Amino acid sequence: MGVVATLLLAVAVLVLAVLLARSRAQARRSAHRFKVLEDIAVVADQGGSVEEALSAIGEVLVPAVADFCMIDVISAGRARRATVHVSPGGPLELEQALRRRQPSLPPQMLSGPAEREPAARLRERVGESELREIAHDEDDLAFLRGIGMRSFVNSPLRARRRTTGALTLAVAWSGRRYRAEDERFVRVLAGRVALALDNAGLFTDLGRSERARAEIAVTLQRGLLPPPLPHIRGWSAAAMYRPAGAENEVGGDFYDAFPVAGGWMLVIGDVTGRGAQAASITGQARYTLRTAAALTGDPLVALSTLNRALLSRRDSALCSVAAFTLSEDPAQPVRMAVAGHPPPLIVDGESVIETVSPGPLLGVFADAEWRLERAAVEPGQQLVVITDGITEASGAEGRFGETRLRAELAGTTSPVAAVQRLEGALHAFTAGHLTDDAAMLALARTSSGDGGEAAGESIGALRPLAAA
């Protein structure tokens, strides 16, 4: 009996030790969670800006309760990413990739009844089926696989009795995993986060900021999209412009045509970047070229003036431009200057050849120089200039490329035919989805000097290729 009693005592002590260890672990876990909730409450009480609140919340949550977290804002049934925070140890550039990624939220969070709080979504173990559940397409699925996510939980953010956003917490490289009890904690946590963001004005100002953003985008589009080509006596002209993004997104390509002393100047260019910065560079480029050309009528002066303007900017602003002037006498050679731009092409039946070699890119060197060259455009020939968004366009067969470009231009008999053929080929090659803006100008001498066929045509300058 003494041995049995000893064994029973040992077992009791062992069980008590396990229970004490679990109790202590639970106490530490509870203390840790209360500390997180307390820190979020401090953020809510501080009443800082939206940016300050988002940054402070991310610092509280990562890595304390997640390897990475995302906060998304929901408006009109759509979600947009507000912030991402990633702890050390994850894949390189994961934070930027998650910022660009379209959120994956359950439908009930996006458009569920306002009076009912949507349920949180917990995935304790993330395998292939869970990844496919949240992936947008095969490329997105490959990206998600690379993260190595073990668990995640989405919880709605509710302010003023409506779902205004979502909090997503995920664990991967730390080896942690979320359980059912973590889901309950995250729901409480999401309430504190929503309060902090509401106090900072994120949800209060959402509708106004979205409307202002849309209005700004539309205004920029109307002001910066290429205008219709004017009537140029003795010449037939056609143009194409296709922004790669949404219809109200300002692209980085542009073209323009304006009168100068003794004739016309036409320009086509491509600026770096997209969005607001690209819009500002595009606007500056177009109007600087117009002003310089109006004063001098000289393509070299126009390029030099724009180069100085770009170098004087505080941000990095690079631009390629092809500028050329047409004389009032169509029989006179075209005067051209090219800065870092794909060289103009002469299309003569089945022959397609380059006319000039490009000089340095604009916005790089203060002492850069360009050459003014002349090219005769004979009756039956065309002068064609494109942006590299055409040759660099991607499709199932790789790049569109120079060879395909020349093959499509060969044999075209007019600027309109050249633009329409190339546009159709580009649309088919990319399946209607461009990754960069694309623009094109085509010119030909008319059969007579009366200008009867000289009206310019702009082909689809106001819609993206995918909508063509």
Give 52-90 pLDDT, tens digit per residue: 888 899 999 999 999 999 999 887 788 889 999 999 888
**Do 146 and 83 meet the contact criterion of CB atoms below 8 Å apart?**
no
Phi, psi (deg, nearest 5) at residue 100: -80, -20
- Structure tokens of 14? 């062992």
Positions of E strands within 76-191: 78-86, 121-123, 151-159, 162-171
442 SS3 class? strand
- Structure tokens of 452? 């009867």
Please tell me the predicted confidence (pLDDT) of residue 465.
34
**Do 172 and 148 meet the contact criterion of CB atoms below 8 Å apart?**
yes
Most confident of 17-21, 83-87, 296-300: 83-87
CB-side exposure of 362: number of CA atoms within 13 Å? 33
What average pLDDT does range 374-384 have in this prediction?
93
Residues 6 or more apart whose Cβ sits within 8 Å of residue 211: none
The separation between the first and the last C-alpha atoms of the chain, rounded to the nearest angstrom, is 92
The arrangement of secondary structure in 218-467, i.e. its CATH architecture, is: 4-Layer Sandwich (3.60)
Composition of the chain by helix, strand, coil, percent to 5: 40, 25, 35
- What whole-number distance in Å separates Cα of residue 216 and Cα of residue 63? 37
- Residue 322's pLDDT band, with cuts at 50, 70 and 90, is very high
Residue spans per domain, the chain:
37-204, 218-467
Please tell me the predicted confidence (pLDDT) of residue 85.
95
- Residue 126, judged by CB atoms within 10 A of its CB (0-12, 13-18, 19+), counts as buried
- Residue 12's pLDDT band, with cuts at 50, 70 and 90, is low
Whether the per-residue pLDDT at 370 is higher than 70: the answer is yes
89-98, 361-370, 404-413: least confidently modelled range: 89-98
**Do 393 and 428 meet the contact criterion of CB atoms below 8 Å apart?**
no
- What whole-number distance in Å separates Cα of residue 309 and Cα of residue 362? 10
What does each C-alpha distance from 144 to 81, 124, 203, 282, 336 come to in angstroms? 17, 16, 29, 36, 49
Torsion region of 306: left, alpha or beta (phi above 0 gives left; psi -120 to 50 gives alpha): alpha
- Residue 136's pLDDT band, with cuts at 50, 70 and 90, is very high
What average pLDDT does range 148-167 have in this prediction?
89
Whether the per-residue pLDDT at 175 is higher than 90: the answer is yes
Summarised one tens digit per residue, pLDDT across range 186-211 is 999 998 898 888 877 776 655 555 55
Phi, psi (deg, nearest 5) at residue 145: -60, -40
Please tell me the predicted confidence (pLDDT) of residue 460.
44
Please tell me the predicted confidence (pLDDT) of residue 78.
85
**244 or 73, which is more confident:** 73
- Residue 453's pLDDT band, with cuts at 50, 70 and 90, is very low
Whether the per-residue pLDDT at 276 is higher than 70: the answer is no
Question: What is the SS3 assignment for 259-299?
Answer: EECCEEEEEEEEECCCHHHHHHHHHHHHHHHHHHHHHHCCH
Whether the per-residue pLDDT at 467 is higher than 50: the answer is no
Question: Does a cis peptide bond (omega within 30 degrees of 0) precede residue 118?
Answer: no
Query: What global pTM score does this model have?
Result: 0.54
Residue entry with tokens 């979600």 = 79
Please tell me the predicted confidence (pLDDT) of residue 91.
83
- What whole-number distance in Å separates Cα of residue 168 and Cα of residue 86? 12
Among 406, 410, 394, which residue's Cα sits nearest to residue 465? 394
Summarised one tens digit per residue, pLDDT across range 81-105 is 999 999 988 887 899 999 999 999 9
What average pLDDT does range 233-259 have in this prediction?
78
- Residue 251's pLDDT band, with cuts at 50, 70 and 90, is low
CA dihedral 422, 428, 432, 436 (to 10 degrees): -50
- Residue 440, judged by CB atoms within 10 A of its CB (0-12, 13-18, 19+), counts as buried
**340 or 447, which is more confident:** 340
Whether the per-residue pLDDT at 387 is higher than 80: the answer is yes
Whether the per-residue pLDDT at 468 is higher than 90: the answer is no
Q: What is the mean pLDDT of the chain?
A: 83
- Residue 464's pLDDT band, with cuts at 50, 70 and 90, is very low
Q: According to CATH, what is the number of the domain 37-204?
A: 3.30.450.40
